[in-house]
Structure 1
Amino acid sequence: MPLLKRIDVHVEGIVQGVGFRPFVCSLANRLGLTGRVRKDADGVFIEVEGALAGVEEFLTALERDAPALSEIERVTVISAEPTGHRGFTIAASDPSGLRRALVRADSAPCDDCLRELADPADRRHRYPFINCAACGPRFTIVRGVPYDLRLTTMAGFAMCPDCAAEYDPGNRRFQAQPTCCPACGPRLRLHGARGAELCGDPITTTVTLLRAGRVVAVKGLGGYHLAVPAAHEQAAATLRGRKHREERPFPVMVADLAQARRLCEVDDGAAGLLTSRARPTVVLPRRAGAPVAASVAPGHRDLGLMLPATPLHHLLLAELGEPLVLAAGNVRDEPIAHEDADALTRLGGIADAFLVHDRAIHVRADDSLLRPMAGEVTVLRRARGYAPEPLVLRRPAPRPVLACGARLHSTFCLAQGRRAFLSHHLGDLDHPDTLRTYVEGIDHYCGLFGLRPRIVAHDPYPGYPSTRHALEIPGAELVPVPHHHAHIAACLADNGDPGPVLGVVLDGPDGAGLGGEFLRADLTGCASLGHFAAVPMPGGALRQPWRMTAAYLGDDHPGLDVVRRHAGEWADATRARSPETTSAGLLFDAVAALLGIRDQTTYEGQAGVELEQHADPGETGAYPAAVTPGDPLVVTAADLVRAAATDLAGGVDSHVIAARFHNGVAAAVAGACAALRDATGLSTVALSGSVFQNALLLEGTARRLLAAGFRVLRHVRVPPHDGGISLGQVAVAAARDRA
């Protein structure tokens, strides 16, 4: 008679909505074990008993063979007395207790579902909402936990007999909450711009409209996109004009890697990003002669590519037979539209037709954006496909923390223990709809993960909407975190490093006018060690970069084109009494205007982005900038602008000048860090701030620092711009709470 054993097992992590209970049931049956499994508010609870060898193998296989979409954080095992239970069952969910269960991000269609989608003999052939336990919508349809059908936007779709017949532990759709088919699931429809439903097959008619150059609004996982063929210049220009998106590049969706490689240089790393379940947009070098309309990404050497994120996208791309622009469904800086009535109202002046469906989107989510840089991948926008899956903190937050983030590229972050829930990208909080979405998102995350913040971290600048929201939260312990400290803390948390480090923050001007600063920082505090030399910031400089050229050059170079272009206003810009700034972002703006690249911007950071695109990547020369040690250390960035102006007046090619400027900034940063290492003994450098989205600058700076013997930390999982600020605020607040 074999020795019997019974254990109670609690599994925490991403174990709901990923086929974990059917996996447990099948595993127990295969090993001849009895018991039951159920979801609870904390994860999955299992009671299992049987022969000792079988129970031990069960525990081993539980983690070794877990479903692909699952991520096990912790397994707790308690021995119990055998009960003689017969069979193994999947029990009803237990919603009681603390909510610690995790929600999986939306996941692209799996290979099994794609095979069914393309199979004429399958009953789900060409069904645009095909999914299973291994793929499909998750976060964007979830209203609460445990992850059950009744707590999703699929609650109103009753399962038909055929789907019910598939609902057994041996089927990959068992316990897949959004499972459906053409008979019982969401339905696709095509509407005209005024809302009337159009006849014919929605996908075929949509493709006909696209080929004719029409703009079609397409409802995706996290909201609406605006689609036109990527090679159709008139359609792309029409979309750009209607959307009031004058120059910012559009992303392009391709059907597969073969199509991607016809447009861009795609190495193995990029291919892995494109085909990952998150289906992010990946910024890649464009191939010469790529068949893409000029209006898709004017003036850019790169393209943002993505592969289909839903079955609907697969069907559209397969029938169209060419790449598709898939721009965010909004006007300018508004949040993307995700509710049907709102989309018809806000996008009615842009789209000629609407490809819609009746599966509601509970949480709007933009596409995520990644860029390979300096041998790693930098997340520039963390949203669909990644949120709300937690980032792991190296050291825990003792009490629940809410970090309210900054103003631009806004996110918030909730943390308790080792889990930090960085929200999906929300946008700029100056727009009232974005601010409303931000407040609603905080409430949703708090409810979803059962967190009631005891500590609220925020930016000290009172003009930020996020700061005002923090100050209005009743009963919370407030922790102000300086903007640049939060930047470096985010980089430290991203790398699991407690510091201290030399922190380099290069960004636009914050509320205090800073933007180029060197710090000594750890998670509990920071001290300023140096900065770029301050210059006046004339009024209007944020949208008119030439004004910063005037601030740097004054009357030193009256013969330059930039001076002639603005002769009527140049003197006023150089002599006006203006607040001072150390902003590195505005330094890049000044050189962009100097070279005639951009005098007027239409979106934040545009001049700097275009300056990077303009630079000759093969140029190795670098302009010198004085680095003056002291308290504080000062980098005379004006030296770089004057050197660029001298070369320009001497007839040097502007592409070469742009590269020498980038190399000069990188050399100045490395030189400043070398001087600060001598003063502090610190040999690890953390790089943060929006300017480090610039691949040419990041690669040049990291290379010089590594050559000088530094250890270099840079952002990988969270953005270097203000989208990562809330994680830094969490890390600081938690560290101070521990102290």
Structure 2
Amino acid sequence: PVYHRLFQQLPKEAPIVLLKRREPLSLPDSVAPGMCRLGFMLPYTPLHHLLLRRWERPIVLTSGNLTDAPQITDEVEAIEALDGIADWILSHDRTIVNRVDDSVAVVAAGELRLLRRARGYAPAPLSLPEGFSGLPQILALGSELKNTFCLIKDDQAILSQHMGDLADVRVWEEYQIQLARYRDLFAHEPERIAIDAHPGYHASQLGQKISEELGLPLDQIQHHHAHAAAVLGERAIPIDHPLILTVALDGLGYGLDGALWGGELFLANYHRCQRIGRLLPSALLGGEQAMREPWRNTLAQIFLSIGLKNFIEEFPDLAITDWLKKQPLAVYEHMWRQGTRAPSCSSMGRLFDAVAAACSLAPERLSFEGQAAMLLEAAIAPGMIEKIDDGAYLLPVVTDGGLLGLDPRPLWQPLLSDLRRGLELSEISARFHVGLARSLYSWIEEGFQRANPDSRKIVLCGGVFQNVTLLELLQTQLQDSGFEVLASARLPANDGGLSFGQALVSAARALSDKRAQTERRTPSCV
């Protein structure tokens, strides 16, 4: 009875919450190196309380898994795999049946926002907005990175816990186990399948296979349309709401033209997604290698803005110059000019990588997605943002064919000049964040003038908006100008919320198909 009462008093969700570091800290450098936030969590089971009741200080801990792998749930496997890593292992006489990561959250722009939705939240069902009723059972399989999947049944959405990156064979195996478990637990028999439009994603290929085997309709949904729909659904926007101006910023997604997108301005609702603007594209030198090695994106931006020869002559003493001169630059310049293994990409995530690498904040090779952008934001000292007035690095809005372009080229000359004269990295990063927020605001205003949507709502979606500094700067400007800002909170802004958006777009298509069939069957009278 005592433990039962104790359990009732525990916070139900108890996510890991990222809190700003205070200096000085007596923590080892190996704890969240280079980051400005630390993750804190409360004990959330009676076992935690029993273990920690005699401790008078916090403990530092991490998950029981190898890098990028799911948590180990078998005692024998744990002893073998964690030998030399863990000094002690706490075992139990009850088998771990279901793996679930801890949820992770941060407070940004006045709301608690989930970065990873798992234990404590999944699989609690999500209510659907007005107009989503009479739906078939839908299975949405998510993206490649930070994967979740989503089931629609009885006009509710059931979003899985965080699965991880499906390129890892261990995660892929766990994904299939959990998918089968959810379908069995919720007696889910899909009548329609929704997948990302990228043909190379493991989840997309699985959805294609299920669709063919069961003869089910297959909806291939553009990546950023799903991001937008996830926010619309979370914020209870009705199914027939007019198009809303949407800014989608992330690492990359497969575009409607077959190119790689990631810095886009849309008009979107559940039924449509019309692109009206983009970040001017640069090259991914080496293809996927540029997603792991941020200096490649710096080099691509130099090719695009200053030119390699001028860069080396004007900025010979920078650390990034020294690093680049050790690379086969003639080969990379040829790749850039010819487009050989250098696909064009309008990704805002890669721009963050480029700036972080230019400032020598990013490692040569990233350990995890988003690391460079996190280090760039973490470099900003407390109070520095408020000091930035003049000197912010602006990206002008330009004509880009039939689109509104956001041009990163003009930011490079002042940024590199500030590096050359030894300006503190804290101020350089602050100038970049402030300039980007101001530029995005101008881009949005231009989009409203051009598209003239029906409301002053604006959707902010994609993983880049997990950057607290950028989100708060931009949201403040927008709200001060009378915009209603819609952004993720209960779902991750990254690909962890993508399957929910896929499911909603698929549901909207299913209802449109149903309506069209009814109209065809209804006799007309002239």
Match in the other structure for 2:347: 583
For residue 544 of structure 1, the aligned residue among 273, 278, 293 is 293
How do residues 329-348 of structure 1 correspond to structure 2 at under 5 angstroms?
A: 329-348=64-83
The structure having more radius of gyration, on CA atoms, is 1
Cα pair distance change 1:369/1:348, threshold 3 Å: same
Matched, 1:608 2:370: no
- In 1, Cα distance between the equivalents of 2:458 and 2:37? 29
**Structure 2: distance between partners of 1:413 and 1:641:** 42
Q: 2:405 is paired with a residue of what secondary structure?
A: strand
Query: Which of 325, 339, 344 is the matching residue for 1:567?
Result: 325
* Secondary structure class of the residue paired with 1:480: strand
SS at match of 2:253: coil
The Cα shift of 1:342 comes to 2.8
Higher relative contact order (CA 8 A, sep 6+): 2
Distance 1:445 1:132, change over 3 A: farther
> Could you tell me how far apart the structure 2 residues matched to 1:642 and 1:537 are?
21
Equivalent residue of 1:328, what SS? coil
TM-aligned CA deviation for residue 132 of structure 1 = 6.7
Match of residue 535, structure 1, among 277, 282, 285: 282
TM-score (norm 1): 0.62
CA deviation profile, 1:287-337 (whole Å, cap 9, x unmatched): 223343222121122110001122221122222332112211111101111
Aligned to 1:597, the other structure's residue is in SS state coil
Contact 1:619 1:660 (C-alpha < 8 Å) held by counterparts: no
Of the three residues 474, 482, 487, the one matched with 1:714 is 487
Task: Write out per-residue CA displacement over residues 607-655 of structure 1, whole angstroms, 9 at most, x where no aligned residue.
Answer: 0000000123333332221102562110002222333112222332221
Superposition deviation, residue 407 in structure 1: 0.4
| Alpha-carbon distance, 1:414 to partner | 0.4
Distance in 1 between residues matched to 2:448 and 2:154, nearest whole Å: 34
The equivalent of 1:195 in structure 2 is none
**1:477 counterpart residue number:** 217
Change (3 A) 1:322 1:134: closer
CA distance in 2, matches of 1:439, 1:528: 34
Q: 1:356 is paired with a residue of what secondary structure?
A: coil
| Partners of 1:317 and 1:324 within 8 A in 2 | no
1:134 positional shift: 6.5
**Deviation string, structure 1 residues 383-406 (Cα, Å, up to 9, x no partner):** 011111011111435101110000
Match of 1:525 in 2: 272
Asked whether the 8 Å contact 2:228–2:459 carries over to 1, the reply is yes
SS in 2 for 1:354: coil
Which amino acid is 1:503 matched to?
A: T
1:625 and 2:368 correspond: no
State the distance in 1 between where 2:301 and 2:244 align: 31
What secondary structure, in the 3-state scheme, does the structure 2 residue paired with 1:524 have? Answer: coil
For the structure 1 residues 629 and 675, does the alpha-carbon distance in structure 2 shift closer, same or farther, using more than 3 Å as the test? farther
Question: What is the CA RMSD across the aligned residues, in angstroms?
Answer: 1.8
1:624-703 correspondence runs (5 A): 624-629=394-399, 631-682=402-453, 683-703=456-476
Q: Counterparts of 2:24 and 2:418 in 1: how far apart (Å)? A: 31
Equivalent in the alignment of 1:386? 121
Does the CA contact (< 8 Å) of 1:280 and 1:385 recur in 2?
yes
Structure 1 consecutive aligned stretches of length 4 or more whose deviation exceeds 3 Å:
130-136, 570-575, 616-619
Counterparts of 1:150-299 in structure 2, within 5 Å, are 276-299=11-34
Structure 2 residue 150 is matched with structure 1 residue 413 = yes
Cα displacement string for residues 416-439 of structure 1 (whole angstroms, at most 9, x for unaligned residues): 233110100011001112111111
336 and 619 in structure 1: CA distance in 2 versus 1, 3 angstrom threshold:
farther
Q: Find 1:504's aligned residue among 213, 227, 247.
A: 247
- Quote the Cα distance in structure 1 between the aligned partners of 2:144 and 2:38: 27
Q: Secondary structure at the match of 2:71?
A: coil
Tell me which amino acid in the other structure corresponds to 1:613.
A
What 5-or-longer segments of structure 2 have no aligned partner?
337-341, 513-526
CA distance in 1: counterparts of 2:93 and 2:412, whole angstroms: 56
Task: Give the number of aligned pairs.
Answer: 474
Amino acid across the alignment from 1:491: V
Q: How does 1:407-446 map to 2 (within 5 A)?
A: 407-446=144-183
SS in 1 for 2:260: coil
Amino acid corresponding to residue 501 of structure 1 in structure 2: I
Residue 594 of structure 1 aligns with an amino acid whose one-letter code is: A
> 2:132 maps to which residue?
396
Structure-2 change in CA distance of 1:482 and 1:503 (3 Å): same
Paired residue for 2:43, among 280, 289, 308?
A: 308
Structure 2 letter corresponding to 1:557? F
Quick one: distance in 2 between partners of 1:588 and 1:604? 12
Please give the alpha-carbon distance, in whole angstroms, between the structure 2 residues aligned to 1:285 and 1:488: 29
Query: For 1:325, what is the secondary structure of its paired residue?
Result: coil
Identity score, percent:
37
**Of 588, 591, 596, which aligns to 2:360?**
596
Structure 1 643/417 Cα, relative in aligned 2: closer, same or farther at 3 Å? farther
Once residues 508 and 571 of structure 1 are traced to their aligned partners in structure 2, the CA distance between those partners, rounded to angstroms, is: 27
More helix by percentage: 2
Please give the alpha-carbon distance, in whole angstroms, between the structure 2 residues aligned to 1:675 and 1:385: 41
1:573 offset after TM fit, Å? 3.3
Distance 1:629 1:417, change over 3 A: farther
How far did residue 447 of structure 1 move?
Answer: 1.4
CA distance in 2, matches of 1:619, 1:472: 55
CA distance change for structure 1 residues 314 and 681 in 2, over 3 Å: closer, same or farther?
A: same
C-alpha contact (below 8 Å) 1:396/1:416 kept by paired residues: no
Q: Tell me, yes or no, if the aligned pair for 1:557 and 1:645 is still in contact at 8 Å.
A: no
Conserved 8 A contact 2:15-2:103: yes
3-state SS of 1:717 partner: coil
| Counterpart for residue 524 of structure 2 | none
Whether the 8 Å contact between 1:396 and 1:417 is mirrored in structure 2 is: no
Question: What is the CA-CA distance between 1:463 and the residue it aligns to?
Answer: 0.6
Counterpart code for 1:439: Q
In structure 2, distance between residues paired with 1:548 and 1:400: 42
For 1:351, the aligned partner's letter is A
For residues 354-365 of structure 1, what are the structure 2 equivalents within 5 Å? 354-365=89-100
Is 1:379–1:718's contact at 8 Å kept on the other side of the alignment?
yes
For 2:507 and 2:106, how far apart are their aligned partners in 1?
Answer: 30
Q: Does the CA-based 8 Å contact 2:11-2:44 persist in structure 1?
A: no
What secondary structure, in the 3-state scheme, does the structure 1 residue paired with 2:507 have? helix
> Residue 155 of structure 2: SS of its match in structure 1?
strand
SS at match of 1:527: strand
Aligned equivalents of 2:250 and 2:4: distance in 1? Answer: 42
CA-CA distance at 1:410 after TM superposition: 0.6
Instruction: Read off the aligned partner of 2:132 and give its amino acid letter.
Output: P
Local SS of the residue matching 1:380: strand
